[in-house]
Amino acid sequence: MNQFKKHTFMLLMTMACMLFASSAMAQALAQRNSPRMMQGVRAQGMGNAFIAVDGTDENAIFYNPAAINDYENKFHFQFLLPTAEFSYKAINFFASDITDLADDIDGAANDAAKINAFDTFAANNTGRYEEVDVRGSAVIMMHKYITASLFYESAGVIALTNPILSTVDIETVSQAGLMVGSAYSFFDDHLQVGGAVKFIERHMIDETLTNRDIVANNDFGDALDTKQFGFGVGFDIGLKGKLPCEGVKFCDVMDPRLAITLQDIGDTRFFAGDDVGRQQQSLSAGFAFNPKFWKLESTLAVDVRDLDHRTDFLNKFHAGAEVRWPEISKILREVSVRLGVNQIYLAAGLGLDFKYFKLNFATYGRDIGSKTIQKQSRMFSFQLAAGF
Pairing mode, strands 191-209 and 268-271: unpaired
For 152-167, what is each residue's pLDDT tens digit?
Answer: 999 989 888 777 778 8
For 250-283, what is each residue's pLDDT tens digit?
Answer: 888 899 999 999 999 999 999 877 778 889 999 9
Is the model more confident about 27 or about 333?
333
Q: Summarize the confidence of residues 298-324 as an average pLDDT.
A: 94
Task: Kindly state whether residue 172 falls inside one of the protein's structural domains.
Answer: yes
For the chain, state the CA radius of gyration.
22
The number of distinct structural domains making up the chain is: 1
Task: Kindly state whether residue 375 falls inside one of the protein's structural domains.
Answer: no
Report how far residue 86's alpha carbon sits from residue 369's, in angstroms, rounded to the nearest whole number: 17
pLDDT for the residue numbered 259: 97
Task: Kindly state whether residue 329 falls inside one of the protein's structural domains.
Answer: no
Task: Kindly state whether residue 370 falls inside one of the protein's structural domains.
Answer: no
User: How far is CA 378 from each of CA 63, 160, 366, 367, rounded to the nearest angstrom?
Assistant: 22, 16, 7, 9
Which is nearest to 158 in space by CA: 308, 260, 29, 326?
Answer: 29
pLDDT for the residue numbered 377: 87
Task: Kindly state whether residue 378 falls inside one of the protein's structural domains.
Answer: no
For 192-221, what is each residue's pLDDT tens digit?
Answer: 999 999 999 999 888 888 888 887 777 777
Mean pLDDT, the chain, integer: 86
Task: Kindly state whether residue 285 falls inside one of the protein's structural domains.
Answer: yes
Could you list the residue range(s) of the whole structural domain that residue 215 is in?
2-321
Task: Kindly state whether residue 25 falls inside one of the protein's structural domains.
Answer: yes
Q: Which residues contact 68 (CB under 8 A, 6 or more apart)?
A: 55, 60, 61, 142, 143, 144, 145, 146, 147, 181, 182, 183, 194
- Are 45 and 348 in contact, with CB atoms under 8 Å apart? yes
Task: Kindly state whether residue 312 falls inside one of the protein's structural domains.
Answer: yes
Is the model more confident about 83 or about 328?
83
Q: Which residues contact 27 (CB under 8 A, 6 or more apart)?
A: 280, 309, 370
Residue 224 in this model has a pLDDT that exceeds 60: yes
